[in-house]
Amino acid sequence: MALQTISGSRRKVSMVVIGIDDFSNKIVQDNSLQVWIPHHTPPIWKTAGYYVFLNAPTEIVTVRLYSPIFHSVEIQADLRVQTKEPLILSVRLYPNETYPFPKGITLVEGKAPAGSLVQVLGGNYPSVKLVEDYKKDKDDRKIRLFQPEGLCLDEKCFEIFSKDGTDTEQFFIKQQIEEEMFGYLLKAPLQKDYPKGLTAIRPVAQTYANATGQYLVPVYCKEGQEICCQCIYEKNTTKKSSIVAGKRVLIDFEQ
């Protein structure tokens, strides 16, 4: 990611925060998104959606993000390690009830333990597939993916699985490798080899249950398509449902 140099020897770029809409997979460029570090000078907002912090303290800081259409986020950033390049912090933002969802979107909602991670598997957007075979001993944290929409996949969760159903696992994308076409850096290597022609990938839509235990996950899916909704907490629980596209689906993990 290219940033314009900010002139002046006393104005050092310490960190750049990017908010990513987990539903659209686009960088949030609306300055109604507020990003700040408590008791520190506010960041410089760039119209491309970058929040640039100057001369931030060299310590572990708390970064807070607020928007009227997303759940608020509080995340820790370690600025103790000084490098030539600023820390780039990409943060996924999960829509709340006030988000302007387009027509035809299925909304999975219900109750789960407060703070628990709720995932919906079975959606079909964004569409992603392997460009070439993934071999864990050779590729490690690098993977080559094709996604035609040109979206931002930083911090996005996916499920990769063999088409015969024998192998499956989840992975998170750390960031795109700018100098390499179709190249992405994983947060952690995959556990197995995945041949291009025998493998499929689907996105994982997710959110966290709020303080009262309510959650809402928007999903792109087809009429009658079966989805799997799972709650990851002290004891993982999985529930499946055949859905009517464009309607609300109630899945309660507290019953």
98 domain-assigned: no
Is residue 159 classed as helix, strand or coil in its secondary structure? Answer: strand
Phi, psi of 139 (to 5 degrees): -90, -30
Is residue 161 classed as helix, strand or coil in its secondary structure? Answer: strand
**235 lies in the same domain as 180:** no
Q: Give the residue numbers spanning the domain of 242.
A: 106-120+207-250
**pLDDT value, residue 124:** 72
Going by pLDDT thresholds of 50, 70 and 90, the confidence category of residue 246 is confident
110 domain-assigned: yes
**183 lies in the same domain as 216:** no
Give whole-number Cα distances, 235 to 75, 157, 218, 254, in Å.
24, 21, 24, 12
pLDDT digits (tens, 9 = 90+) for 132-141: 999 999 989 9
**77 lies in the same domain as 180:** no
24 domain-assigned: yes
**74 lies in the same domain as 135:** no
Give the up-direction half-sphere exposure of residue 111: CA atoms within 13 A in the CB hemisphere: 5
**pLDDT value, residue 180:** 74
**pLDDT value, residue 10:** 62
**212 lies in the same domain as 173:** no
Q: List, in order, residues 6 or more apart from 84 with CB less than 8 Å away.
A: none
**86 lies in the same domain as 183:** no
**pLDDT value, residue 4:** 44
Mean pLDDT of the chain: 88
**190 lies in the same domain as 136:** yes
Phi, psi of 197 (to 5 degrees): -75, -15
Structural domains in the chain (count): 3
Asked if residues 49 and 18 have their Cβ atoms less than 8 Å apart, the reply is yes
78 domain-assigned: yes
Is the pLDDT score of 216 beyond 70? yes
**pLDDT value, residue 72:** 95
Give the up-direction half-sphere exposure of residue 180: CA atoms within 13 A in the CB hemisphere: 13
Give whole-number Cα distances, 211 to 112, 178, 208, in Å.
10, 38, 9
100 domain-assigned: no
Tokens for 237, please give them: 């629980």
What DSSP designation does 28 have? -
Measure the CA–CA gap between 186 and 190, rounded to whole angstroms: 8
Measure the CA–CA gap between 110 and 213, rounded to whole angstroms: 8
Is the pLDDT score of 8 beyond 80? no
pLDDT digits (tens, 9 = 90+) for 25-70: 999 998 899 999 999 999 999 999 999 999 988 899 999 999 999 9
Give whole-number Cα distances, 115 to 34, 97, 213, 230, in Å.
22, 17, 7, 14
Asked if residues 182 and 131 have their Cβ atoms less than 8 Å apart, the reply is yes
